[in-house]
């Protein structure tokens, strides 16, 4: 791992960071040092005083590999690794409830030093899960810090403060020195709401869960995670893991190193795109996290909260032995922040280590159901996750009865490029696209039955756009499940189910309705649909000639329309006063509302006109009497 050779710290090019602009991307930069006597120490923080004491403790414990994962490395002079973590802020509001920490950790072995080495971590803290931005930024700032020291932090912060505001769902070019990061940000619907409202950009996304036409645009969090590389040995289990995350089951993911476990958690979260994931996921979780004490205190029979925990410490296997679903991934890496493709589990290869042009389902099934592997699978199930205490193996332990089955057409398209790391990594990119496309289709089709509840209505031609829009269809879980049994789940999903029995998929959908993901996603989709309906009716008001409509109104309809237009004018005035108006569109809308109000006023009886004009505020809106006659 190395930074761009063209990037260096030149005093004459140092930019004074604008802290307000910096905070749009980065909460703070931290330098953590592991001291043998004092433990983890915060050496530097920029900007200073951004973290509470509790947050400093959280960051310090999450910024270093634990002693177990450190033993996996060889005794090379320098070992760099990149991983990330997520923790709940003690006093965070709904919008900033979590902080994400992106870590560049360096372990330097030197026999001349006390205990033979030292380790430090450069940490970028952010409110946003922009892994596509912060991972390459770490590859610059990490080595640069170890070359030039603390001045590297302020230097990089200066460039970051010059970046434009993040635009979710867009491809952005972010200059950093002589280099430019070209990154895709996750879409608005995968991020927490801002200001407890609907992100404006979401109105451009699909109202009903439809498959997007532009596949180059990411549809969820962590679209850059190496799904195939991490789960290559567990490809047949991906469909079960997808279901478990969909319904919000607690999952423990254990891996030899922090980079592997954090990547595994990110991959799992990415599986359910475009669904907004409300499950609490922790890419790297340690025993020092305040949440561990709560989990460890659960009694036999108590349910674990919905969460995905990525851990490296084998102690969790005993402490959380009642966790219903355990996933073991990865292999002990030698000296890399990523698992070398050539050293991954042979679970995706033919017996004997032979490579082939594809990882077809026939090959995977042959491995899975051969007598030796069948006996090994039985032994793994019998021994349970505690067998990892003696030897690390890739496996899934769960008793959940999955309703979906591995898609043979997808598995047959996956490519195995052999032992060449460079070729294999490029083939992993292809395989990631194949897998992510499939699970995007799978999730989209799973959500498709909810589409009618997001159906918007626009005013029909010739009708008044000032009548109250019809509400969106009301939702009842029992009614939904009853209708689902009658009409089925659709062709795409039914082909990928182990059985097409209504009771089977009703069970899965009922679990989804009761789980943590449904209500936040459904309410958000409804809010987006309602926003879209308001937009359509506003467009209709701008285009409608009210003089043509008023000629067909009776007196009662005219009075109702006058009251409705007045209400919209009041809302527009309030929007202006709050600072949300004032644009050209807002001004045009206000003027159109005034003209429509005058048009309706002109058809009202004379005595009612005189009564309405007695109000000075209303009279100011009807100030051109000659135009009213």
The pLDDT tens digits for 50-91 are 999 999 999 999 999 876 555 555 555 788 999 999 999 887
- Among candidates 138, 434, 420, which has minimal Cα distance to 262? 138
Judged by DSSP in three states, 280 sits in strand
pLDDT at 349: 29
Q: Which helix (H) or strand (E) holds 182?
A: strand 179-184
Give the residues of the chain that fall short of pLDDT 70. 1-14, 67-76, 92-95, 110-116, 194-217, 333-371, 373-374, 377, 417-424, 500-502, 579-583, 623-629
Q: Listing from the earlier edge strand, what are the strands of the sheet with 117-126? A: 39-46, 28-35, 117-126, 98-109, 78-88
CA distance 533 to 475: 18
pLDDT at 125: 97
pLDDT at 553: 85
How far is C-alpha 545 from the geometric centre of its chain's CA atoms? Answer: 44
CA distance 612 to 132: 59
Residue 16 token pair: 């004074």
C-alpha R_g of the chain = 29
Residues 6+ apart with CB under 8 A from 224: 131, 132, 135, 184, 218
How far is C-alpha 463 from the geometric centre of its chain's CA atoms? Answer: 41
CA distance 124 to 83: 11
- Among candidates 511, 585, 555, which has minimal Cα distance to 246? 511
CA distance 85 to 258: 9
Q: What is the pLDDT of residues 361-400, one digit of tens each?
A: 444 543 444 567 667 767 777 788 988 898 899 999 999 9
CA distance 552 to 544: 14
């Amino acid at each position: 791992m190395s930074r761009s050779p063209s990037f260096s710290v030149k005093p004459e090019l140092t930019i004074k960071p604008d802290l307000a602009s910096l905070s749009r991307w980065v909460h703070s930069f931290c330098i953590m040092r592991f001291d043998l006597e004092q433990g983890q120490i915060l050496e530097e923080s920029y900007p200073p005083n951004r973290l509470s004491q509790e947050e400093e403790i959280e960051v310090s414990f999450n910024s270093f590999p634990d002693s177990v994962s450190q033993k996996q490395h060889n005794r090379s002079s320098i070992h760099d690794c990149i991983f990330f973590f997520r923790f709940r802020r003690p006093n965070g509001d709904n919008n900033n409830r979590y902080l994400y920490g992106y870590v560049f950790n360096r372990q330097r072995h030197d026999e001349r030093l006390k205990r033979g080495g030292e380790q430090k971590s450069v940490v970028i803290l952010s409110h946003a899960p922009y892994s596509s931005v912060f991972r390459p930024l770490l590859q610059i700032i990490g080595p640069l810090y170890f070359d030039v020291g603390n001045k590297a932090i302020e230097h990089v912060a200066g460039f970051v403060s010059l970046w434009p505001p993040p635009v979710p769902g867009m491809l952005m070019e972010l200059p950093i020195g002589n280099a430019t990061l070209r990154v895709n940000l996750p879409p608005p619907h995968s991020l927490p709401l801002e200001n407890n409202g609907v992100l404006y950009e979401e109105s451009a996304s699909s109202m009903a869960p439809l498959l997007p036409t532009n596949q180059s645009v990411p549809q969820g969090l962590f679209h850059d995670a190496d799904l195939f590389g991490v789960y290559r040995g567990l490809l047949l289990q991906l469909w079960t893991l997808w279901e478990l995350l969909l319904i919000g089951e607690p999952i423990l993911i254990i891996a030899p190193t922090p980079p592997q476990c954090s990547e595994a958690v990110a991959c799992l979260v990415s599986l359910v795109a475009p669904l907004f994931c409300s499950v609490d996921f922790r890419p790297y979780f340690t025993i020092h996290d305040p949440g561990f004490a709560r989990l460890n205190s659960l009694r036999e029979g108590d349910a674990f909260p919905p969460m995905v925990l990525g851990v490296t410490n084998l102690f969790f296997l005993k402490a959380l032995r009642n966790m219903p679903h355990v996933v073991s991934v990865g292999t002990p890496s030698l000296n890399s922040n990523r698992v070398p493709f050539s050293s991954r589990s042979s679970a995706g290869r033919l017996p004997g280590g032979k490579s082939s042009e594809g990882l077809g389902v026939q090959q995977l099934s042959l491995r899975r159901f051969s007598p030796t592997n069948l006996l090994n699978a039985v032994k793994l199930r019998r021994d349970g996750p505690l067998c990892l205490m003696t030897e690390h193996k890739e496996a899934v332990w769960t008793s959940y009865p999955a309703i979906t089955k591995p898609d043979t057409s997808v598995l047959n398209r996956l490519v195995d490029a052999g032992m060449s790391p460079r070729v294999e990594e490029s083939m992993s990119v292809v395989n990631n696209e194949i897998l992510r496309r499939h699970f995007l289709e799978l999730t989209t089709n799973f959500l498709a039955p909810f589409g009618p509840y997001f159906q918007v209505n626009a005013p029909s031609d010739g009708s008044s756009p000032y009548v109250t829009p019809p509400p969106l269809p009301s939702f009842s879980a029992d009614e939904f499940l009853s209708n689902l049994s009658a009409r089925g789940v659709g062709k795409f999903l039914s082909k990928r189910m182990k059985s097409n029995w209504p009771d089977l998929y009703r069970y899965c959908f009922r679990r989804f309705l009761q789980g943590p993901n449904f209500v936040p996603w459904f309410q958000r989709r409804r809010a987006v649909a309602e926003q879209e309906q308001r937009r359509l009716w506003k467009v209709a008001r701008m285009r409608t000639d009210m003089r043509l409509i008023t000629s067909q109104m009776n007196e009662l309809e005219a009075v109702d329309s006058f009251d409705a237009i007045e209400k919209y004018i009041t809302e527009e005035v309030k929007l202006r006063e709050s600072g949300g108006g004032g644009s050209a569109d807002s001004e045009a809308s206000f003027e159109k509302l005034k003209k429509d109000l005058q048009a309706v006023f002109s058809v009202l009886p004379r005595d009612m006109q005189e009564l309405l004009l007695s109000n000075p505020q209303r009279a100011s809106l009807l100030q051109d009497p000659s135009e009213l006659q």
